[in-house]
Amino acid sequence: MSHLVAPSLLAADFSNLAAEVEMVNDSMADWLHLDIMDGLFVPNISFGFPVVEAVRDLSSKPLDVHLMIVDPDRYLERFRDAGASNLTVHYEACHNLHRTVSEIRRLGMKAGVCVNPHTPVMLLQDILPYIDMVLIMTVNPGYGGQTFIPGSINKIGELRSMIDLEGYDVLIEVDGGIDLHNAPVLLHAGVDVLVAGNTVFSSSDPVEIIRRLKEPS
């Protein structure tokens, strides 16, 4: 399978949201990535259900929703109803992770688990059979425009080996500081899905940037 690209809406111009989503619709992007922040799990607040629902009605791409919130179990069904195709929760935020991801799948969504930069991927060994994707944060979560953490490459390689050793059908997604320079390195390390925010939306030609991110490594 060729890798996927998911532009991150957090970096879009929210005064011109319909046009930004339409740009993604017209591009080679595979998904549209939405970061939900509550100001508690991370030190920032992004947007909630009204924005997700509006984007759902505008987007022709599946919505890849990343919950950076405490106690995500409260809202799983509401995010399904708001339009999420993929729903990713944080390892660090879930008290009963197996129950949470099982419920995400029961609701008809793909289930993802995210790990912060300080969290070892070896802790995911027991949950891999029950999920569809692992999201590795390559910056500290909460704000866009941060610098990629180089040590993330080793985590990606370790996770790739864990998945391949058991033959799990689990995608590896990365988010944080992704650009045209480090994308080939990440893909070579075993990444399946590139999330890019500022690299796409701050460009004078975001459709071309998405096309270049889709190029084989």
Note the pLDDT tens digit of each residue in 13-54: 999 999 999 999 999 999 999 999 999 999 999 999 999 999
- Domain tally, the chain: 1
Using DSSP's 3-state secondary structure scheme, residue 214 falls into coil
Which H or E element spans position 80?
Answer: helix 76-82
Q: What is the mean pLDDT of residues 175-185?
A: 94
In single-letter form, the type of residue at position 137 comes to M
Instruction: List the CATH number of the domain containing 175.
Output: 3.20.20.70
pTM: 0.96
Q: Which of 30, 64, 132, 175 is catalytic?
A: 175
- Residue 85: which of 61, 58, 49, 109 has the closest Cα? 109
Q: What is the mean pLDDT of residues 6-18?
A: 97
pLDDT category at 217 given cuts 50, 70, 90 is: low
Q: Tokens 């999201």 label which residue?
A: 135
Concerning whether 175 is annotated as a catalytic residue, the answer is yes
In this predicted structure, the answer to whether residue 97 has a pLDDT above a threshold of 80 is: yes
Which H or E element spans position 213?
Answer: helix 206-213
In this predicted structure, the answer to whether residue 117 has a pLDDT above a threshold of 70 is: yes
Range in 1-5, 13-17, 203-207 with the lowest mean pLDDT: 1-5
- What are the pLDDT digits (tens) for 125-149? 999 999 999 999 998 876 666 688 8
Share of the chain above pLDDT 70, in %: 97
- Residue 36: which of 51, 23, 21, 26 has the closest Cα? 51
Q: Which domain holds residue 73?
A: 4-213
Concerning whether 205 is annotated as a catalytic residue, the answer is no
Q: Give the span between the Cα atoms of 169 and 129, in whole angstroms.
A: 8
In this predicted structure, the answer to whether residue 169 has a pLDDT above a threshold of 70 is: yes
Neighbours of 43 (CB within 10 A): 11
**pLDDT at res. 1:** 64
Q: Which of 35, 38, 132, 192 is catalytic?
A: 35
